[in-house]
């Protein structure tokens, strides 16, 4: 609607300047038109730059995530550093147990991602999102053409990871796969015995077996 108002004032200023003969009415009409144009542009600028007529609302959602790999007994959250400073990461996981392909989440300029250790044996993604929404229907009607209702101001994503999971970089995952592949007969026998031990523990205490596997991976990778 604000665009329509701007057009109306522009037309008013043009018609007053070009078509009205009496000087007083010409000046008055032109001034009103110009003031309306300036006010309309100022309101548009305030809405686009400072979100005039809007307020912020914060919503929090939590959903379970699933291992990025086909690991047995323990979960894996993968990440890949984004940029050179390593502060932002692309996180990789499955959002459904039936997903054939892991999901990669790339952060944008408004997103901050982090990790948190929690109790239990399930992993979650917790999103806290702050968005701009119009204060009421009047402001929505006035500025709705800008299509900025529910525009994201900031988003914080926390990956809540239990000790039955491990967080690895994609490079660490490749290194682990190579190190876990037995090459000699002795290594194959030791690997088989270790797997039998994990399986035996898993039957009586799956969480303990998962923690043992996670500790073993950390020992192998030196992390």
- Write the pLDDT tens digit of every residue in 135-194: 999 998 888 887 888 999 999 999 999 999 999 999 999 888 887 776 676 666 666 666
Burial 117-151 (b: 16+ CB within 10 A, else e): ebeeeebbbbeebebbebeeeebeebbeeeebeee
Q: What is the pTM of this model?
A: 0.77
What does the pLDDT read at residue 193?
67
In sign, the C-alpha dihedral spanning 84, 86, 91, 92 is positive
Other CB atoms within 10 Å distance of the CB of residue 216: 15
> Rounded to an integer, what distance in angstroms lies between the CA atom of residue 26 and that of residue 34?
12
What does the pLDDT read at residue 61?
96
What does the pLDDT read at residue 200?
66
What does the pLDDT read at residue 90?
92
Regions of the chain where pLDDT drops below 50: none
What does the pLDDT read at residue 190?
67
What does the pLDDT read at residue 126?
96
SS3 helix, strand, coil % of the chain, rounded to 5? 45, 30, 25
Check if the beta carbon of residue 147 is closer than 8 Å to that of residue 104. Answer: no
Distance of CA 156 to the CA centre of its chain: 7
What does the pLDDT read at residue 97?
83
What does the pLDDT read at residue 57?
96
Check if the beta carbon of residue 198 is closer than 8 Å to that of residue 152. Answer: no
């Amino acid at each position: 609607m604000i665009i329509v108002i701007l057009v109306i004032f522009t037309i008013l200023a043009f018609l007053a300047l070009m078509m009205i003969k009496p000087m007083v009415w010409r000046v008055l009409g032109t001034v009103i038109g110009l003031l309306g144009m300036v006010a309309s542009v100022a309101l548009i600028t305030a809405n686009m730059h400072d979100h005039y007529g809007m307020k912020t609302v914060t919503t929090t959602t939590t959903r379970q995530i699933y291992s990025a790999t086909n690991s047995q007994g323990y979960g894996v959250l993968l990440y890949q550093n984004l940029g050179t400073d390593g502060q932002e990461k692309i996180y990789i996981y499955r959002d459904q147990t039936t997903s054939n392909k892991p999901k990669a989440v790339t952060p944008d300029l408004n997103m901050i991602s982090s990790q948190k250790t929690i109790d239990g044996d399930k992993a979650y993604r917790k999103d806290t999102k702050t968005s701009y929404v119009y204060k009421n229907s009047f402001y929505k009607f006035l500025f709705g053409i800008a299509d900025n209702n529910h525009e994201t101001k900031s988003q914080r994503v926390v990956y809540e990871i239990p000790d039955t999971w491990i967080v690895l970089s994609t490079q660490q995952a490749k290194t682990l796969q190579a190190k876990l592949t037995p090459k000699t007969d002795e290594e194959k026998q030791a690997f088989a015995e270790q797997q039998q031990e994990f399986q035996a523990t898993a039957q009586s205490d799956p969480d303990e077996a998962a923690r043992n596997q996670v500790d073993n991976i950390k020992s192998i990778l030196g992390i």
